[in-house]
Amino acid sequence: MIKKPRISVIVATLGDRVMELKRMMATLENQTYPHCEVILVLQNEQDQWSEVFADCGVLLKVIKIDERGLSKARNIGLEHATGEIVTFGDDDCWYEKTTFQQVVDSYQTGKDVISLNLYDPNQQKFGRLQKIKTSRYLTKRELMSRSSIEIFVRRACLEGDDFHDSIRFDEAFGLGATYISGEENIFLTDLLKRSYRTYFHPDVLVYHAVQPRTTRLTKAQVLSKGPLFKRMYHAPIAFLLVTLFYFKKKQKKLLLEVLKETWTYQPGGEQ
C-alpha cells in the first residue's frame, strides 16, 4: 500500500485571533485530503488552546515560545513538523476544500516547491494582478511577489547534507525582526540556489483577506529593501536595484539612508 504524504501546516500566532484560527481548523477538517497536522507556534503566555480546540478533528501540536519573530517561530515549527510536505499558514487564512489534494497531486508529478494563488472570496479579489494565467515555473524575479501562506515545499528539500546547511527562514527578516518583510522571497531564493524551482498553480487557492493597496511605503519597509536585495543578489546588483527601486517609488529622500543600511548589512543566514 502506497503511503500518503502528510502535510504539516505551520502557523505562527500571537494568540489573538481565536475565531480566525477556528475557521482555518474547520477548513482543514473539511479537506478532501485529510492527512495533515497543524504546528501552532504560540508567541503568547496565555494557555487557552486546550479548551479552544478540545473537539478539533485535526492533529494539533502547540509549541509555546517566549520570543517574538515570525521567521523564528516558523523555524521552530519546522523542527516539530513530521509531514513530508510543509506550508506556512497565517492564523487568519483558510483553504478551499480541495486545495491539499491538488497540492499532493502536483507533488506526485515531481514538483518540489509549489506556490498557490491568494484569493479573497468575500471581496472576490486576488492578492495581486493576474499576470500569470497558466501553471508554470516562476522566474527569480517573480519569486519577489510570493507570500508565505502560498508556499508548499517538500520537507526533504530543506534538510542539510555534507555540503549544505538546512534551509530555514532568515530570522533577520519578517515581522518582529530587524527587517520587517521579504522572508518568503529569501526562503524561495535559497531553494532556487539548490535548484529547487517554484511551480505556480494559478487555479489552486488559499484564502485570505486582501488589504487595500497603498502606494506609500513605511520607512521600515523602505529601509528593509536594500538588505533584502543584498541578501538575495549580493552587493553590486543590490546597490543597482536599490537605486532603481527608490527612484521608481519616489523615495529619493531616503536613498542615502538606505544605501548606508545596505552597506552595513552583512548577510548572516545565507544558504
Q: Report how far apart, in Å, the C-alpha atoms of 142 and of each of 18, 135, 136, 188, 251 are.
A: 33, 13, 11, 10, 23
The span from the CA of 192 to the CA of 218, in Å, is 29
Mean pLDDT by 10 residues, the chain (271 residues): 85 85 92 94 70 76 88 96 96 94 94 95 87 91 92 95 89 92 94 95 93 68 84 81 70 74 79 52
Give me the DSSP letters along 13-68.
E-S--HHHHHHHHHHHHT-SS--EEEEEEE-SS---HHHHTTT--SEEEEEE-SS-
Say what the pLDDT of residue 159 is. Answer: 92
**Is 0.75 topped by the overall pTM?**
yes
Say what the pLDDT of residue 1 is. Answer: 46
The span from the CA of 41 to the CA of 80, in Å, is 10
Enter the C-alpha cell of residue 104: 499532493
Segments making up each domain of the chain, as ranges: 7-207, 219-264
The partner residues of 153 in beta bridges, in order of sequence, read 86, 113
The span from the CA of 93 to the CA of 27, in Å, is 10
Say what the pLDDT of residue 50 is. Answer: 62
Q: CB-based contacts of 207: which residues, under 8 Å, 6+ apart?
A: 27, 93, 94, 95, 96, 118, 119, 120, 121
Say what the pLDDT of residue 111 is. Answer: 95
Please provide the CATH number assigned to the domain covering 7-207: 3.90.550.10
